[in-house]
Each structure stands twice: as structure tokens, then as C-alpha cells.
Chains A and B, each alone.
Chain A
Amino acid sequence: MIPELGHFALIVALCVALVQGVLSLAGAHLRRPSWIAVARPAAKAQAVLIVTAFVCLSTAFVQNDFSVLYVTQHSNSLLPLQYRLAAVWGGHEGSLLLWVLMLALWTLAVAVFSKQLPEAMVARVLGVLGLVAAGFLLFILLTSNPFERLLPGAEDGSDLNPLLQDPGLIIHPPMLYMGYVGFSVAYAFAVSALLSGQLDAAWARWSRPWTTAAWCFLTLGIALGSGWAYYTLGWGGWWFWDPVENASFMPWLVGTALLHSLAVTEKRGSFKNWTVLLAIAAFSLSLLGTFLVRSGVLTSVHAFATDPKRGIFILLFLVVVIGTSLALFAWRAPKVGLGGRFGLLSRESLLLTNNVLLVVACASVLLGTLYPMVIDALGAGKLSVGPPYFNSVFAPLMIPALFLMGVAPFARWKQASVAELARTLRWAFLAAATVGVIAPFFFGTWKPLVALSLLLVAWIVLATLLNFVGRVQATRAGGSFVGAAIKQPRSFFAMHVAHLGIAVFVVGVTMVNGYQAEKDVKMEVGDSVTVGGYTLRFNGVHTQQGPNYMAVVGDLDLLKDDRLLRAMNPEKRNYVSSGSPMTEASIDTGLFRDVYVSLGEPIDKARPEDAWAVRVYYKPFVDWIWGGCVLMAFGGLLAITDRRYRRHAAPVEVAALAQKA
């Protein structure tokens, strides 16, 4: 009964979404207040219905209802409760339901926190969001119904993929989807602005906090995914340039460009067309990502069951959503004014340069991701594009971007002078260059790429400090420095915190790539291996029974200078119902390094108590990678809680609400 209720809720939600989409847009166009008034209640009803459907599916998982096909495929009666709940989005159908749930919550947030916006504008935004929701609901109902029954019901389910039985999976997809779907709000604002012809500073101002919120979630979502890959795949890698990872990274790159472009549009009224295009692109890339992941056109380690019908549906949906918005853009954009003019060297031009670098980076990721498919489509053979391509294309684009990050906050709007910038920043640059040249010696060998990266890191940090101190000095007016510092607006802190996050991230990437050490050894009881100054002693293995798996647990001691630091227990699990093995690495986390151990295979399968293949890694500064991401997201949070938004009390609550979700 409960699954049918969920199915029914989805059908009603589709009808409501259609009403919300069509009536609101038509009402705004024909200026009919009674139709416009439908938008908000419809959005709220929509949220209630989809939450109902989601709760129904979760209930089926909690109750182990194996007469529901989706539950049978992705759960098992032995599966612990938290993973049964996470299993709701462990497969294709449930992921889509989660997508729609996120969309409904974002739509609800817009409906609730948009009191100061013109009614027609709200109706347009909610209308566009309603149509997007209708498309996805149709997709679920026609091709991917999670409530489909299996009659007669199964005895037990075939279990959730063991890779996904991890605390990381409980939060990674919801975070990532909050980000993906959040860009739909920026998209809806952009399309509404194009429809109404009012592309102005007010539009940019309204879009900004929503875009920033989505960007924060996406940043955290990607970081969680990367961290999850690091500790569950057992290879010690944190980014693989896998198509599915790229699918989440492309909207991030464009979203980052969009954040900066919106700032210019709000402050100076420039780049309007460019900003609109970025808003359309960010959401289009989220949809494209969904297509790439769900249609099976690309090979990826994220193996999802694929069905050609689904691929065709999403492709058609892409054509409708992206095609119409780009056509609308081509039609409306020529009439939009240029906005504030700016000089060849100005804050505008520097931000534009960074924007272009980010977009080109995104385009090169897109090219690398789609290239195998394009070559295959042209009948020119099969190939795959790997990390060497991405690394060699990506780094040269990011180096100037990092350099400009230090300069842009000092440049004046409209017209900046090279002489003035050089005067302000010369000492910072000299100091940064010194750090870059000298610092690598402390970590062993001197490597040019490490030196360059550390130079840029020092450059960003010093420029940030200089900018901060300069601004505080300029506004203290005889008062105390600290007093003036804390009075600075949050958006000012936000920018610097996020930029420092980038610097921290770059330190992590540089140090791991430059100085990590790994050893792949055969270990018998009593054997030791030393890596990066740390020694690991192998004391054998023992078996352990988990709730739904059997594990072989390695007993190792971690020593430094003959002093015992701790015991390390990497596991090799075998999940009972699916029979699939899983590696659970053991990691000693530290501020400046991780020591990472994972169990390979027993050397002789018949005698697993003897020798084992063991992989040991020394990873300097690896946690800075995720720390940097957290700082970036925290910067975003500061930006949306800035005073000028709080006055309307809107986005703060949005952020709070979004966090609860």
C-alpha cells in the first residue's frame, strides 16, 4: 500500500508541476494576477508531494519490503539501518527521486524566501523550475519508477553495492545533488530575466546568494566524493578524472566563473549576456552530467545499470531545456545593453580573464570526457583519455588563474594602473618568489613544479593579507585595528577565506604529487617496511565478523624512530549476500601527512594466515586538499550570510533550511 501511495504522490506531483509551470509563466506573460498567484501554493504542494514519495520509498527500505523491485535490488535484511536509508539513493531510480526531492526543496525555498521580489518575477522563476521538475518526474514515471512491484516478492534482497556501504555515501550524493540542482535556481532566474527582458543589476543581486549556496554544496559534495574514493578504493588516489567525477567538476568550474561574473554584473552592470550564458551553462552541465552518468554512453568506474530508453529520454530533455534556453538567449541577448564600460586593465578585465580561464578549463575537461565517444561516433576507433591529458591541459590554465587571484582584489573598477599595482604588490611578489624557491628544500628534493606551485600559494596568501590589512587600515579612522577588522562586511571575509581555501588546496595537491611515497610489498609476520620515515610492522591477520560481511583484519604497528605510535587495522571484507570483496584502508591522519595502509591479497590463497601483499603510502599534506575545499565552502557560507542579505532575512534561512535537508 505504501509504495502505491508513493507512486500516486509522484503522479499528482507531475500534474502540479505542469500547472505550476504553465500557469505561472502564462500568467506572468499575460499579466493575470490570479494565475500568477498559483505559483507559490503550487510550489509548496509540489514539495509536500515529493517529500511524501521519498518518505514512502524510505519506509519500504526500512521495513525490508522485498516486494518492491528497487528495494530487492539495493537492500538486504542484514543491511544496517543507516545503510538501508542511504540505499534509497544507492541506485538509478532512487538517485533520480533524490534529484527531484532536492529540486522541490530548492523551489520551496525560492517560494518562501522571495517576498521582496516582484510577483511576476517569482512566478516566472517558479514556472521555469516547475517545468524542469515536470521533465524529471515524467522521466521517473515513464522509465525509472522506483515503486515498481516484484510479485511475488523476493525472500531477501541482493544487497547494496559494498563500495557504497560507507558513511561517505550517506551524505555525498545529497550534497552533490544539492549543488547540481541548486544551479537550477540561477538558471531559472536567468531564463526569467531573458523572458521578461529585464537583465539588470537587481536580477544579478537576487541570483547571487542562490548561486553561492549551490556552489557551496557542490564544493562540499565533490570534496566528499574525493575523500570517499581516497579511503574506500584502496589506491590512495583522491581524483581519477573519471567521467562521473568530471561530470560534477564541470558545473563547479562554470559555477565558480558564474559567481565572479555575477559580482561584476551586480556592482557594475557589465557582462550581462556573459553572466546569463554562464547561468544557463552551469545548469546545462549539471543536466549533461546526469545524461553522461545515466545513459551509459561513457565507460566509468561508477557502473550504473543502463537502459537505452533512459538515454533517449534524457537526451530529448536536454534538447528541450538547453535548446530552448539557448535559443531564447540568441533571441534576447542582442537587445541587452553593454553596461558599465571598463579599461583594458581593471578589476572587470581581470575577473573576465579569470572567467575565461575557468571556462576554457571546463571546455577542456568536457573535450577529454567526450573525446572517446566522439571518436567512436565518427567511426575512428576506440580509445580512452586518461589523467596525463587532463593534468597537462589543466595545470597551465590554472597557473595564470592563481596568479590573477592575487592581483584582482587590488585592481580598481573601471580603470587600474599597472604602475600602482606593481608598487603595491612588488614586495609581496618578491617574498612569494623567495618562499617558492626555498621551501621545496625543506621537503627533500627541489622540483620546479613544486617551487612554482608554492610560489603561487605564498603569493595568494601574502596578497590576501596585504589586501586585508590595507582595507582595515583605510577604514579604521584612528580606531583600533581589531575593532576595524571585525567591522568589515562578511562578503569581504568571504572572498578572502575562499581564496585562502584555494591556496590550502593547492598546497595539498602539490605536496602529494611531489613527495608522496608508496610501497607495494609482500609481508610475513614480523616483517617491517619503511616509507617516508615511518615504519610499519606486520603482526599477522585475524578474522572478524561484521553485520553483513566477514573481514580479514591486518594487525600492523606504526612506528616512528622505534617508538610505537598506534596499531593499524586495514580490512579485507567479503560481503555475504553479494559475495563481493571490499578493501577498507587504515589511515593514520595527521595535519602534515597521512600514513595509509591497505591489504592486498594473501600470497598463497590456501594459507591466508601467512604472507600478504600490503600497500603502504606516505601522503604529505593530503588532508589539505579537503581542508581547502571546506574553507572554500565556508567562504561561500560567509558570503550568503552577508548583512545586505540578512536585512531581508532571506538567504540565511535558506542556508539553514538547505543544511537541514
Chain B
Amino acid sequence: MNRFLWPLIGFVVLVVLLAIGLRLDPHDVPSPLVGKQAPMFSLEKVGAPAQNFSPQEMRGKVWLLNVWSTWCVSCRQEHPVLVEMAKNKALTLVGLNYKEVRGDGAFDMDKIAPDAERELALKRAQAWLKTHGDPYTLSALDLDGRVGIDYGVYGVPETYVIDKAGLIRFKQTGPITPDVFSGKILPLVAELSK
């Protein structure tokens, strides 16, 4: 055995690891919430203000919670996929509109009164759903992002699959691509709905 081959062998091993590493996403952190109860909340509905929504109402159903907002660029990219998904009647898609106003860098929050923030958020969210299509059964308004914190949201969009018992079974960080939808979400929902 030629001992001068060792550097080359070491390099080949390194390349194999790098090639595998290239297919992984270091930002894709598994959510510690997977397998746990979906946190409870009660929030106003975007489509029907003054009415509240709580995950309690979804008991016995498999449903998806999608975190979105109008200022989020990736949400715009994801939206057509969601609209397509919504055509499948077997899926229940609930939206969580996240920090609609204060998440948008364009506003100076010191100059916006709490009531005005709510009004503005509702107006912006409703207008957006009207222009781009509304894939959601309903959307809840998480104005200050507290529910988002409970769910461990650290980037928008994110999507949670929640089973009949109210357990989070899967979390997608970043936009849902057609591949993720047909490869992961759809089979999982079918399995859980059995």
C-alpha cells in the first residue's frame, strides 16, 4: 500500500461528506414541539372580526396551521401552492396571520395606536386574501405574535400538521413546495385521517 495515497483517501471521504451535507439544510431545525400538544389560543378571525377561533374547535380533525403575513416575501411564493392545496377538500387549512403590522419594517410602531394597528392589520390581510385568493378555512389574527412564540415560529411562513388528538405531527419551516406537499404533507394527512 502506497502511504502517499492517504491524503487522497482522506479527501475522498471529505468529499462524500460534503456532498451529503450539500443536500441538507443547516437552517432546518427540528421543532421540539413535534409530538407535543399544539399550544392553545383564542384569537380573532380575519374574515369575521369579533368572532374568535381556538384550536379546541378542531378536535377530532386533522388540520394544517399555516403562519403567514402580507409583508413576507416567501409567503407570496408559497401562496399559489396553498391555493392549489385548498382545492383538495380533504384538507383543512387554518391561517395564522403573524405580526401583520409590527412585523413590517415599514411602520414606526411608536406612532401607531393599538386600535389602529388592529384595523390596519385586518384591512391589509383581507385585501391581500382578496387579491391573491383565500386558501384558508379561516385565518386567526396574531397581532402581537404571542401565539407565534408559543409555537416557536422563527421565520414566516411555517406550517404545522396537527392530528385529531391535537398533537403537532410535522412542522415545515419555510414555504411549502409542491414536492413537500405531495411527498410529505399529503401522505401524512391521509395516514392521520384513517
Nearest to A331 among chain B residues (CB) is B4
Nearest to A376 among chain B residues (CB) is B24
- Inter-chain contact B8/A329, CB cutoff 8 Å: yes
- Inter-chain contact A291/B11, CB cutoff 8 Å: no
A323-B8, A334-B4 known; A376 and B105 CB under 8 Å?
A: no
State the CA gap A333–B18 with chains docked (Å): 27
Residues of B within 8 A of A11 (CB): none
A312-B22, A315-B22 known; A606 and B110 CB under 8 Å?
A: yes
Report if B50 contacts A (CB, 8 A).
no
A315-B15, A322-B11, A605-B110 known; A333 and B4 CB under 8 Å?
A: yes
Residues of A within 8 A of B5 (CB): 330
- Inter-chain contact B105/A579, CB cutoff 8 Å: yes
Question: From residue 94 to 111 of chain B, which have CB atoms closer than 8 A to chain A?
Answer: 105-106, 109-110
Nearest to B106 among chain A residues (CB) is A579
Report if B2 contacts A (CB, 8 A).
yes
Residues of B within 8 A of A326 (CB): 7-8, 11
Interface of A is mostly: helix
Report if A318 contacts B (CB, 8 A).
yes
- Inter-chain contact B17/A605, CB cutoff 8 Å: no
Q: How large is the interface on A (under 10, 10 to 19, 20 to 34, 35 or more residues)?
A: 35 or more
Report if A319 contacts B (CB, 8 A).
yes
Nearest to A322 among chain B residues (CB) is B11
Residues of A within 8 A of B7 (CB): 277, 280-281, 326, 329-330
- Inter-chain contact A297/B22, CB cutoff 8 Å: yes
Of the 9-residue stretches A146-154, A366-374, A453-461, which lies at the interface with chain B? A366-374
Interface size on B, residues (CB 8 A): 25
**Minimal beta-carbon separation of A278 from chain B (angstroms):** 11
- Inter-chain contact B17/A382, CB cutoff 8 Å: no
Residues of A within 8 A of B149 (CB): none
**Minimal beta-carbon separation of A273 from chain B (angstroms):** 7
- Inter-chain contact B105/A382, CB cutoff 8 Å: no
**Minimal beta-carbon separation of B114 from chain A (angstroms):** 12
Nearest to A370 among chain B residues (CB) is B17
Residues of A within 8 A of B27 (CB): 299
- Inter-chain contact A330/B30, CB cutoff 8 Å: no
Please tell me which one of the listed residues B30, B106, B110 contacts residue A382 in the complex, with CB atoms under 8 A apart. B30
**Minimal beta-carbon separation of B108 from chain A (angstroms):** 10
Report if A298 contacts B (CB, 8 A).
yes
Residues of B within 8 A of A372 (CB): 26
- Inter-chain contact A295/B26, CB cutoff 8 Å: no
**Minimal beta-carbon separation of B3 from chain A (angstroms):** 8
Residues of B within 8 A of A130 (CB): none
- Inter-chain contact B106/A273, CB cutoff 8 Å: no
- Inter-chain contact A376/B110, CB cutoff 8 Å: no
Report if A486 contacts B (CB, 8 A).
no
**Which B residues are closer than 8 A to A by beta carbons?**
2, 4-5, 7-8, 11-12, 14-15, 17-24, 26-27, 29-30, 105-106, 109-110
Given A373-B21, A373-B26, 16 further pairs, Cβ under 8 A: A273-B4, A280-B7, A284-B11, A291-B18, A295-B22, A297-B18, A299-B26, A299-B27, A323-B11, A374-B17, A376-B21, A377-B17, A382-B26, A382-B29, A382-B30, A580-B105
13 A–B pairs (Cβ distance < 8 Å), ordered by A? A280-B7, A281-B7, A297-B22, A299-B27, A308-B22, A329-B4, A370-B17, A372-B26, A373-B17, A374-B17, A374-B21, A382-B30, A605-B110
